[in-house]
Structure 1
């Protein structure tokens, strides 16, 4: 049989190569254990370039433009995700491969308050079921939103990776807000443990958020 050539054959070959690469990455990730975040900071593998994998702003993972519909597989990839500068990579002991992240790689989908020690601490659950105790090392930050006065809230999860708070969680957070003086200015923000995270000057609060 003659070897397939031309655009169709090229597309078939590229799809097969991409599928093979994904399977190789999956095998490497599974070899790390795949239960909870992997110790990516201990590994220094060669850089194998980038692959067509993307995390959309709503937290959906895509491969070659198609949503990855298996939650267990998404969690597997998330367990080896890390950030190096502005680049997001899947990192295993044998290779690291860059992927695209539209906004933040995770979503904070639930918030609870742990006040067992007398200092209420905010605890966020991500869409990957990570539990993040807000405080030093797991700080909140508030970036300017798309409209004047709007804020986009994030919490640091690990390795430079953040979770964007969903609108519902952000509204819960705002309900816990209070005004404190920060460097001589009355600021509206939220406390977690001994930390206070300022959102905006209290004078700008009305009509915002």
Structure 2
């Protein structure tokens, strides 16, 4: 079945975003416990580009497929997990990049560089690191993996915070998240 790109995030209602998130079917990697471990030869650069053996992966469909198998362990190591094997992946910063944000009815929805939608909240928390002059904002995605907000998305969320009454905090699904470390 060919991949159907999502509509423009700015044109979607919160109900449409929630339906798209719910419709996303992901492999049950949390239930897989393979014994074999090896190196995948993959690297995810800080700008979100995926590489295999030093060459960029240009097919977005492959990146999307691999991203559904990605997890990060308690030591911070990223892995591609299949029922038979887990393969290490070098990640320079975050496994995903948040490339767009929209505020809808008390929720903040993000589009990732893998064309996936995530709504910030109890299961997908925002985290501010760095320092107040140069903060970095991360969004929890799944299985310990995070998305770093790119510059334009950081500006979108900062403008949203400044337009509200919570200072440099934003609220999504009832949870307040500081944007300053």
- TM-score band (shorter)? 0.7 to 0.9
In the TM superposition, 1:8-19 aligns within 5 A as none
Runs of 4+ in 1 over 3 A off after TM superposition: none
CA offset at residue 37 of structure 1? 2.6
Instruction: Look up the SS of the partner of 1:107 in the other structure.
Output: strand
Q: Which residue does 1:191 correspond to in 2?
A: 171
Write the distance in 1 (CA, Å) between the matches of 2:71 and 2:26: 10
CA offset at residue 135 of structure 1? 0.6
- Given that 1:36 and 1:79 are in contact with CA atoms closer than 8 Å, whether structure 2 keeps it comes out as no
TM-score (norm 2): 0.80
Q: Which structure is richer in relative contact order (CA contacts within 8 A, separation 6 or more)?
A: 2
Write the distance in 2 (CA, Å) between the matches of 1:199 and 1:108: 15
Write the distance in 1 (CA, Å) between the matches of 2:36 and 2:137: 32
- Given that 1:189 and 1:199 are in contact with CA atoms closer than 8 Å, whether structure 2 keeps it comes out as yes
Are residue 160 (structure 1) and residue 144 (structure 2) matched? yes
Are residue 170 (structure 1) and residue 154 (structure 2) matched? yes
Q: Which residue does 1:137 correspond to in 2?
A: 123
Write the distance in 2 (CA, Å) between the matches of 1:196 and 1:136: 10
In the TM superposition, 1:22-101 aligns within 5 A as 36-85=25-74, 86-101=76-91
Are residue 124 (structure 1) and residue 95 (structure 2) matched? no
Write the distance in 1 (CA, Å) between the matches of 2:82 and 2:40: 15
CA offset at residue 188 of structure 1? 2.3
CA offset at residue 48 of structure 1? 1.9
Unaligned runs of 5+ in 2: 1-23
- Paired positions, count: 155
